[in-house]
Amino acid sequence: MNAVLLRQLKRMGLSLDKPPKHAKDWAMLLDRVSAYYEDSDRNRYLLERSLAISGQEMAEVLNRRQELTNQRIQRSESHYRNLFVNNPIALWEMDQTDVGHWVTSLRDLGVVDLEEYLDDHPDDLVIGILSMEIVDANDAALRLIGISSPEQLTEKWNEDTFRQEAERAAFRPLISAIWNGQTNATYEISTQMMGRPMAGIVNWSTPRNPDGTADLSKAVVGIV
């Protein structure tokens, strides 16, 4: 039996092995039992109400945190976008994952020296170049090569554009860096792309995967 109810019975002079003898004692017992249940119901209601309020408050806190997180992400994306699009340096964002697959396939075929291989098979450099996917290009990059949109650049990213050695020259050091497992490279170019003269310093970089290898899906190429 509940300890609280036992104490109440004791105060009334009642025990578990002796039922009440008089109607008045029965009435007192029933009153105490009723009061106990009423207290229990009231306490249960207060507990449930408290849990409901706490749950609602917690949900509101979590929702607010999510809203703040989303706002920070939006501000961060907007800030990055502004830095990328309006940067005076010509920037290209590329997914070069397939370039990594291509150089791996060359190794599987027994190629041990990429430079020697490209000297003997100069046209194969186009395979590596066309394996690059243009994700985005900023305004400075579009002006540099004389086109109006990243979509137009994607359309022109084909074998005809890189038929001449001059168009391919700017990418050879970059592909060599991927072959060597690097995550950044800086080199000078004086060539042309899509029929326009192009001279400057190329900086290529890509983040690292957790295992230390280059994450070629997020490569950035800049020309100063």
Instruction: Give the global pTM.
Output: 0.64
124 and 206 together in one domain? yes
pLDDT reported for residue 123: 86
- Of 35-49, 147-161, 167-181, least confident by mean pLDDT is 35-49
Domain that holds residue 33: 3-62
Burial class (CB in 10 A: 0-12, 13-18, 19+), 208: exposed
- CA dist 11 and 27 (Å) reads 15
pLDDT reported for residue 7: 66
In a domain, 33, yes or no: yes
**What CATH number is given to the structural domain containing 189?**
3.30.450.20
40 and 137 together in one domain? no
pLDDT reported for residue 1: 56
Whether the CA torsion 39, 44, 45, 50 is positive or negative: it is positive
